[in-house]
Amino acid sequence: MNVVSKDLTIFVPKVFNNVDCTFVKLVLDEESFQTNVRDYSQLVDAHANHNKLDDAERIIKKMNEKGIMHDILTKTIMIHMYCKAGKLDLAKEAFESLRTQGFQPDMKVYTSMILAYVNVGDQKSAKALLTDIEFKNLKPSEDLFLAVLRSYAVIADPVGASWVMDRMHIAGYQSGLESNSYMVEVYSRSGSPEEARKYFDEIIKSGNKPDDKCVARMIAAYANKNLLDEALRLLLQLEKDGIELGLDTYSVLIDWLGKLQLIDEAEDLLGKFTEKGVSPSLDVHISLCDMYSRSREEKKTLQALGVLEANKEKLKHDEFERVINGLIAGGFRKDADRIRTLMIDRGFKESNQLNVAFQAFQTFNRTRSSRK
């Protein structure tokens, strides 16, 4: 039998250029080829780069069957591959194996792992790896810090967000538009409008303009505490500074005005969507349904409710409950029952508060009927 050329680099680039990869696998099985770990790692890398995870895993399995130990390059490839594919458990296994064998993960490996943790909402593990990086005198990119900071904003954790900001400053990165915007978001979500305003003002002072999402978050912070005067002063200041409001901010204002039953004012803002030729978002229809229900405007309530029922698969648990509570408050019993059934069919369990509201509503209606 002729000895096959040992240079696998001849074949790997061709695997994904209309050359059947089965040939390369047969070459790896050929005893005279005398394959080693580097041959396998190149093939795994080629498959991983082309998102062929199943094929890459078959090559790894073949390595294991032949008793070929994974070297640092192979494990690094596996970590990137599993992180990209969202297989965090396998990525963690490869990462811990890498460290157990005494290999030092590089910054790219740390970045892949941290982003994988961020993507599944595991801020604790992401923070631990950032701390590990700091001890090893490696420098994360600013984008990596921002990704972790954004994840803390989503879960409204100001302590974690502040920790990331401190680490950014220690690493030599200055606060900028994006990082300050995330701090506005985290304090808005956590119910601290004063702290949110500090970071919002910092954006203005630095010569930047907050985007519509950031403005909306700042207004939402005031709305959560019903600080209407502060919100109005801010809106006047933004107008003076030439900062134009967008649909995200209008959505927040419509929701707030609706809760205050300022229907005419809310409807005026609703016209902004028409002016821009954009349909109101589902959030806006939830706000409108709640507002019209409580004001007992049947026609407009049913119009908004029709949109929500057509998008029932998109509604979250708390959104269902808000709609139902609004319908109960407005006396729309049959509609409340119907939406309650839709919620339960989606697998959501009604809260104790909603259950009590239903019982009180039914009792009140029975009592009122018996008096007639």
263: pLDDT strictly greater than 90: yes
pLDDT tens for 63-117 read 666 655 666 666 777 777 778 878 888 888 888 888 887 778 889 899 999 999 9
Q: Which of 105-119, 167-181, 255-269, 301-315 has the lowest mean pLDDT?
A: 105-119
Average pLDDT, the chain: 84
What pLDDT score does 233 carry? 96
Choose from 23-37, 47-61, 191-205 the range with maximum mean pLDDT: 191-205
Q: Which of 31-45, 64-78, 115-129, 289-303 has the lowest mean pLDDT?
A: 31-45
Q: Band the pLDDT of 3: cuts 50, 70, 90.
A: very low
What pLDDT score does 1 carry? 38
What pLDDT score does 368 carry? 45
Distance CA 95, CA 114 (A): 11
Q: Which of 15-29, 148-162, 299-313 has the lowest mean pLDDT?
A: 15-29
Q: Band the pLDDT of 2: cuts 50, 70, 90.
A: very low
Distance CA 169, CA 300 (A): 51
199: pLDDT strictly greater than 90: yes
pLDDT tens for 227-243 read 999 999 999 999 999 99
Share of the chain above pLDDT 70, in %: 77
Amino acid at 249: T
246: pLDDT strictly greater than 90: yes
Neighbours of 14 (CB within 10 A): 14
What pLDDT score does 59 carry? 64
What pLDDT score does 51 carry? 65
46: pLDDT strictly greater than 60: yes
Backbone angles phi, psi at 176, to 5 degrees: -135, -170
Tokens of 336: 């409340």
Distance CA 232, CA 238 (A): 10
User: Distance of alpha carbon 345 from its chain centroid, rounded?
Assistant: 26
* pTM of the complete model: 0.80
Tokens of 199: 């970071």
pLDDT tens for 321-331 read 999 999 999 99
Secondary structure in 3-state letters for the chain: CCCCCCCHHHCHHHHCCCCCCHHHHHHHHCHHHCCCHHHHHHHHHHHHHCCCHHHHHHHHHHHHHCCCCCCHHHHHHHHHHHHHHCCHHHHHHHHHHHHHCCCCCCHHHHHHHHHHHHHCCCHHHHHHHHHHHHHCCCCCCHHHHHHHHHHHHHCCCHHHHHHHHHHHHHCCCCCCHHHHHHHHHHHHHCCCHHHHHHHHHHHHHCCCCCCHHHHHHHHHHHHHCCCHHHHHHHHHHHHHCCCCCCHHHHHHHHHHHHHCCCHHHHHHHHHHHHHCCCCCCHHHHHHHHHHHHHCCCHHHHHHHHHHHHHCHHHCCHHHHHHHHHHHHHHCCHHHHHHHHHHHHHCCCCCCHHHHHHHHHHHHHHHHHHHHC
37: pLDDT strictly greater than 60: no
pLDDT tens for 132-172 read 998 888 999 999 999 999 999 999 999 999 999 999 999 99
